[in-house]
Amino acid sequence: MKDRNELELELSYGPTGRPLPEFPEPTPLDSHGPARIISMVNQKGGVGKTTSVINLGAALAEYGRRVLLVDLDPQGALSAGTGVNPYDLDVTVYNLLLEREHDIRDVIQETGTENMDVLPANIDLSAAEVQLVNEVAREMALARVLRPVVDDYDVIIIDCQPSLGLLTVNALAASRGVIIPLEAEYFALRGVALLVETIEKVQDRINPALEIDGILITMFDPRTLHAREVCARVVEAFDDKVFHSTINRTVKFPDASVAAEPIISFASSTKGADAYRQLARELIARGSAA
């Protein structure tokens, strides 16, 4: 039997092994914009980038924030996950990056979630990396694309492809913050040094205002010692930069992907949905979102 003090101690500690602060219900906004732009980046695939973009976006939208999601992955998983059929599109973010004759407002689509729009992509985008190389200010193409709508939104979240190539550098150049999702598995930290180095290069050369908003631990199974150890290692390495909010591994996420809906609406009262709501509140409490 645990005595009362032990229990109380346990209750006040969060999944990352640190005391868990309360993140207050965000106050409603009475005006909107300009947006803070955040990139979701990890050059490893399958760590929960797209899932986090959709569900953090949907949670912020639920709190009344105007949200634009930007698909910057030629796989188009974000577009598909928000109900857009990427094959039906003539004009996507690809055309905006490389051609001048389009209006971004004609390309942005509403999603099934109120207050949340998406700038879609499809496989066309896979050519952009090579084609951008010959452009003037090739790292600034996405910043230029987004500029006309920055005042229309409170938060813009960019879903990056699993690489540190020119598209991801474009995302970092356009952003104020970076969220790094890390899967709670051994080797999760492998590759993160290179990612941090890339972020520092962008800070140095193109975008001094860029900052790491936080490390988000995803696919966490709090019942396994293994996952808790990985979590402890990440906190050791990144300290305060690790979000108190963590995302558990649950089959609801793949289910929601199939339904092309955020878990926030697909399975609204589940722990997974609440985890992203908490992350949204934490982000707002830290001043990393409006």
Ligand X SMILES: Nc1ncnc2c1ncn2[C@@H]1O[C@H](COP(=O)(O)OP(=O)(O)O)[C@@H](O)[C@H]1O
Binding pattern for the stretch 37-56 against Mg ion, x by CB under 5 A and - elsewhere: ------------xx------
CA distance between the termini of the chain: 45
Residue in 155, 173, 215, 247 binding ligand X, rule: CB under 6 A: 247
Instruction: Classify the phi-psi angles of 289: left when phi > 0, otherwise alpha if psi is within -120 to 50, otherwise beta.
Output: beta
Residue in 111, 122, 246, 250 binding ligand X, rule: CB under 6 A: 250
Q: For residue 186, what are the contacts with CB-CB under 8 A and spacing of at least 6? A: 226, 230
253 binds ligand X per the rule CB under 6 A: yes
- Taking CB under 6 A as the binding criterion, the range among 2-10, 92-100, 221-229, 248-256 that sits at the site for ligand X is 248-256
The Cα 32–Cα 30 span in angstroms is: 7
Residue in 34, 46, 148, 222 binding ligand X, rule: CB under 6 A: 46
The entry of ligand X, Mg ion, none near residue 247 (CB within 5 to 8 angstroms by kind) is ligand X
49 binds ligand X per the rule CB under 6 A: yes
The amino acid occupying position 58 is: A
Binding pattern for the stretch 199-238 against ligand X, x by CB under 6 A and - elsewhere: -------------------xx-------------------
The Cα 107–Cα 164 span in angstroms is: 25
Question: Tokens representing 89?
Answer: 């599109």
Order the strands of the 109-110 sheet from edge to edge: 109-110, 116-119, 67-72, 155-160, 36-40, 177-183, 211-218
153 binds ligand X per the rule CB under 6 A: no
Contact residues for ligand X (CB under 6 A)?
Answer: 45-51, 77, 162, 218-219, 247, 249-250, 253-254, 257
Q: Which residues bind Mg ion (CB under 5 A)?
A: 49-50, 77
